[in-house]
């Protein structure tokens, strides 16, 4: 029977080895702390196995992660990257409380920027479009992190380029259009992201991202596309054109840009309002001035 001091020492050494990539050290400690006959950590002094997995993933230690994924507690689960965890959260030290989050390891892997770490998860059976709780698919998370290498890797592995974010519920292309990386936007388009129905131009318009709007228009997006959420059959599901979006969020430079690129001011949204109507209703004085000057 190991003493508390011994358990603490082994636990500290294990997590350090996971961080540093010392596979030999990990191999020597794991069977002691996580014996095959015991499905749970036997003590609050021992980190949940998920913490070891997440530590290896976060630091890009693919070989260590592969070894841990093949351990009895992981391999016996239908989601080896999220082994069973039943210890009450109140028994965990604060630094291990994240073990209660189901998809901690996947998030750490995507955030690590290490494609070899993500490949280890794929080899362990994780679908490339695995639904990360309250986040969505890994590709969406990689776009959020603006990690071009990870985005390209996931696309090459077959990730659904036309996937939808968890929140807000819009396309990956629209999400990318609100962020800085033009290379990521082009990567999505090069892998078949659909322009019609993506709301991508409206998304760029709402945040004033003119560079992204230019790329989308150059790639064939309709400046006057009538966007909709595709969530209901009610009229208010139709949210108007990109011009509507720019006016709503008072993006003056974007409004001018869209008008120069052929945006029409007579198109109505699902509630029967033109962009000018929205500007007037919301007392958006600058937007009314820009639109009136363009008549």
Q: What is the pLDDT along the chain (295 residues), one digit of tens a residue?
A: 788 899 999 999 999 999 999 999 999 999 999 988 765 454 678 899 999 999 999 999 999 999 999 999 899 899 999 987 766 556 778 888 888 898 999 999 999 999 999 999 999 999 999 999 999 999 999 999 999 999 999 999 999 999 999 887 889 999 999 999 999 999 999 999 999 999 999 999 999 999 999 999 999 999 999 988 776 777 677 889 999 999 999 999 999 999 999 999 999 999 999 999 999 998 999 999 999 999 8
Helix (H, G, I), strand (E, B) or coil at 227: strand
DSSP sequence for 73-94 = HHHTSSSTTS----S-GGGS-G
Torsion of CA 186, 250, 258, 184, to 10 degrees: 0
| Tokens at 212, concatenated | 């992204």
Report how far residue 185's alpha carbon sits from residue 216's, in angstroms, rounded to the nearest whole number: 9
Q: Residue 64 contacts by C-beta under 8 Å, 6 or more apart in sequence?
A: 17, 18, 21, 22, 23, 26, 56
Give the domain ranges of the chain: 1-83+96-126, 225-295
In this predicted structure, what is the pLDDT of residue 40? 47
In this predicted structure, what is the pLDDT of residue 87? 60
Q: Note every long-range contact of 95-102, with CB atoms under 8 Å and residues 24 or more positions apart, other chains counting.
A: 96/47, 96/48, 96/51, 98/51, 98/54, 99/47, 99/48, 99/50, 99/51, 99/54, 101/133, 102/133
Residues 52, 99 contacting (CB under 8 angstroms): no
Q: Per the CATH hierarchy, to which homologous superfamily does domain 225-295 belong?
A: Ankyrin repeat-containing domain (1.25.40.20)
In this predicted structure, what is the pLDDT of residue 38? 63
Overall pTM surpassing 0.85 (yes/no): yes
């Amino acid at each position: 029977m190991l003493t508390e001091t011994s358990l603490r020492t082994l636990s500290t050494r294990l997590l350090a080895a996971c961080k540093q990539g010392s596979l030999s050290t990990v191999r020597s400690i794991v069977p002691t702390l996580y014996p095959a006959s015991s499905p749970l950590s036997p003590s609050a002094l021992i980190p949940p196995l998920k913490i070891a997995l997440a530590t290896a993933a976060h630091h890009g230690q693919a070989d260590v992660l592969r070894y841990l994924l093949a351990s009895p507690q992981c391999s016996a689960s239908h989601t080896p990257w999220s082994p069973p965890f039943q210890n009450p959260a109140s028994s965990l030290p604060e630094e291990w409380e994240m073990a209660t989050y189901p998809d901690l390891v996947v998030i750490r892997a995507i955030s690590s920027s290490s494609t070899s770490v993500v490949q280890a998860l794929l080899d362990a059976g994780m679908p490339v479009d695995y639904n990360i709780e309250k986040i969505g698919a890994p590709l969406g998370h990689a776009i959020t992190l603006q990690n071009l290498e990870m985005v390209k890797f996931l696309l090459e592995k077959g990730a659904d380029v036309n996937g939808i974010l968890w929140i807000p519920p819009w396309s990956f292309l629209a999400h990318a259009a609100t962020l800085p990386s033009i290379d990521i936007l082009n990567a999505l388009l090069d892998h078949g992201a659909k322009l019609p129905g993506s709301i991508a131009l409206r998304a760029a318009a709402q945040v004033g991202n003119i560079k992204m709007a230019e790329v989308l228009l150059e790639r064939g997006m309709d400046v006057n596309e009538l966007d909709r959420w595709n969530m209901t059959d009610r009229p208010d599901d139709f949210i108007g054109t990109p011009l509507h979006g720019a006016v709503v969020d008072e993006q003056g430079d974007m409004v001018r840009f869209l008008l120069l690129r052929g945006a029409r001011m007579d198109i109505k949204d699902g509630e029967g309002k033109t962009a000018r109507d929205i500007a007037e209703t919301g007392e958006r004085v600058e937007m009314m001035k820009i639109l009136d000057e363009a008549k």
